[in-house]
Chains A and B, each alone.
Chain A
């Protein structure tokens, strides 16, 4: 099975994240770049599927040069090779532009299965996997907490507000995974060493047959009008429990008409 797993480099959620004042895009230099956490679950799931069914795992990332760190991490976990979609023309692409660029790259790479994290911790739109399914014309198997492949059939459990849906489809397909689907492995020392020798192919906009008029900040379907740091919340009242903490909290609730 030919599995492509899409990973994204995002600013560490533990550091202060900012937008750039010049073009209002994410300031990638302000914070440390890390692998989007949910994508580690996607890599893990891809590796498990390969271990069970054979085949190859290719990492696909779109992002600036710096995103190669993210590729290395996924390769160190055990992926076989990588494709890095990198081109200045891609900077500032919104979800529509990004999904278009990735879909073009995926068509070029070829796949039986595409695996993604269900959302990124920076943009948090949660739409990319659905958009890829739409663009590629393949089944959408998203928000999976369980994936099973048998021959050319695939079944997932799709997490819903009330529990989960069992969903079935045929390959090729797009799958997105949620947090508790598995426990991502740590790269071993051997894995880290091996990753250095694994092939990473760089693709530019022209190589992936991406129409430059459909990507990048200037061609986005939406724009940031303006932004500002959120005003801090007014300081609240903090009391120490002296046997009546619950009563005081209830008084507060009553003062706000919650009881």
Chain B
């Protein structure tokens, strides 16, 4: 069986959930080989990758590889594609990993598919386009398929792999060193899960009314262990930072549960959350289009409903 390369996403040495999803998916397509880039690799990381099926782990943990924007990682993957001849390369459909996929595609003259929500027989990728209105099945027709898969699209399953480690030495080319990262600024996000990875997302919109009042959204999120999202009306108003915007020009989320409070459900918002498994809407307008999507809706004032829901969740834990 051919190898399937999986680019590992990690933060502070911890393997992200999306990587376990990709490994689960890769097992159906061939033999998963995890590709670790940048510092932070540890025995713990190795164990995690093996637990979810990595037969091989390529480790390229020099700092060089993350000190420049995107290009070194694409270079590394191109090197591995030529040495390992994998059946496919899987990356997470994050902004950065999609860019890596894009540059890799050019380097190895191969097709790339972004934002897949599933991969079937013959490496056919399922995609949901136009804000969730149309489902498409696509395939790569030239080279080694490179597929960026959305977080939360695949239920994870553990299945031990050998986890054979292979150090990869990389000499980052001068061309790949053109854009240097001189500083990384971390903005406080508290203990909440990352928006695109979270199993539960609680979002607030214009109906929340103010930046201060977003605390009721945050409290509900914290009671559920959820990430906080916002509509564009809320980020435009400066009530919540832009990186939490869900929708057409914000993040796309696909959680198990999405709670929309004070959000009307404009098509551009739906584009970012339509594939959530379960949707709850809280809105005082019974005609709000968000109710068309909702599995459960409460017509009412979010200032009453949200705190009550939070209390109930806390009580029932």
Which A residues form the contact surface with B (CB < 8 A)? 13-14, 16-19, 37-38, 94-96, 99, 118, 121-122, 124-131, 133-135, 137-143, 145, 157-170, 173, 178-180, 220-230, 233-234, 236-241, 243-250, 252-254, 256, 258-259
State whether B300 touches A245 (Cβ < 8 A): yes
Q: Which residues of A contact B298 (CB under 8 A)?
A: 238-241, 245-246, 248-249
State whether B70 touches A253 (Cβ < 8 A): no
* In the complex, chain B residues 84-114 whose Cβ is within 8 Å of any chain A Cβ: 94-96, 98-103, 105-107, 109-114
State whether B304 touches A226 (Cβ < 8 A): no
State whether A121 touches B316 (Cβ < 8 A): no
State whether B106 touches A238 (Cβ < 8 A): no
Contacts across chains A and B counted by CB atoms under 8 Å: 284
Measured in the bound complex, the distance between the Cα atoms of B312 and A144 in whole Å is: 42
State whether B99 touches A124 (Cβ < 8 A): no
Measured in the bound complex, the distance between the Cα atoms of B249 and A38 in whole Å is: 8
Q: A69 → chain B, closest Cβ, in Å?
A: 21
State whether A13 touches B141 (Cβ < 8 A): no
Known: A17-B130, A237-B295. A166 touches B98 (CB 8 A): no
- Write the chain A residue with the least CB distance to B138: A224
Q: Which residues of A contact B200 (CB under 8 A)?
A: 258
State whether A250 touches B114 (Cβ < 8 A): no
- Write the chain B residue with the least CB distance to A252: B296
Q: Which residues of A contact B300 (CB under 8 A)?
A: 240-241, 245
Q: B193 → chain A, closest Cβ, in Å?
A: 11
Interface centre among B124, B181, B189 (most CB of A within 10 A): B181
Q: Which residues of B contact A125 (CB under 8 A)?
A: 98, 102, 112, 114-115
Q: Which residues of A contact B132 (CB under 8 A)?
A: 230
Q: Which residues of B contact A253 (CB under 8 A)?
A: 257, 280, 313
Chain A interface helix/strand/loop/mixed: mixed
* In the complex, chain B residues 246-302 whose Cβ is within 8 Å of any chain A Cβ: 248-250, 256-257, 267-268, 271, 278-280, 282, 286, 291-301
Measured in the bound complex, the distance between the Cα atoms of B103 and A99 in whole Å is: 11
By Cβ-Cβ distance, the 10 closest A-B pairs, closest first, are: A246-B308, A241-B300, A127-B102, A221-B111, A250-B312, A163-B187, A246-B309, A139-B178, A130-B99, A222-B111
State whether A140 touches B305 (Cβ < 8 A): no
Known: A166-B185, A225-B139. A245 touches B305 (CB 8 A): yes
State whether A249 touches B178 (Cβ < 8 A): no
Of A138, A221, A228, A252, which contacts B105 at CB under 8 A? A221
Q: Which residues of B contact A244 (CB under 8 A)?
A: 308
- Listed by A's residue number, 14 A-B pairs whose Cβ atoms lie within 8 Å are A18-B130, A118-B95, A125-B102, A125-B112, A139-B178, A142-B69, A163-B184, A180-B242, A221-B111, A223-B141, A228-B135, A233-B279, A253-B257, A259-B317
State whether A241 touches B305 (Cβ < 8 A): yes
Measured in the bound complex, the distance between the Cα atoms of B131 and A202 in whole Å is: 33
Q: Which residues of A contact B189 (CB under 8 A)?
A: 162
Taken residue by residue from 54 to 75, chain B's Cβ proximity to chain A (1 for < 8 Å, 0 otherwise) reads as 0000000000000001110010
Q: A141 → chain B, closest Cβ, in Å?
A: 6
Taken residue by residue from 121 to 156, chain B's Cβ proximity to chain A (1 for < 8 Å, 0 otherwise) reads as 000100011111111111111110000000000000
B157 at the interface (CB under 8 A from A): no
Measured in the bound complex, the distance between the Cα atoms of B140 and A17 in whole Å is: 23
Known: A224-B138, A238-B286, A239-B299. A166 touches B181 (CB 8 A): yes
State whether A222 touches B139 (Cβ < 8 A): yes
Q: Which residues of A contact B131 (CB under 8 A)?
A: 13, 17
Q: Which residues of B contact A247 (CB under 8 A)?
A: 308-309, 312
Q: Which residues of A contact B106 (CB under 8 A)?
A: 96, 99, 131, 134-135
B311 at the interface (CB under 8 A from A): yes
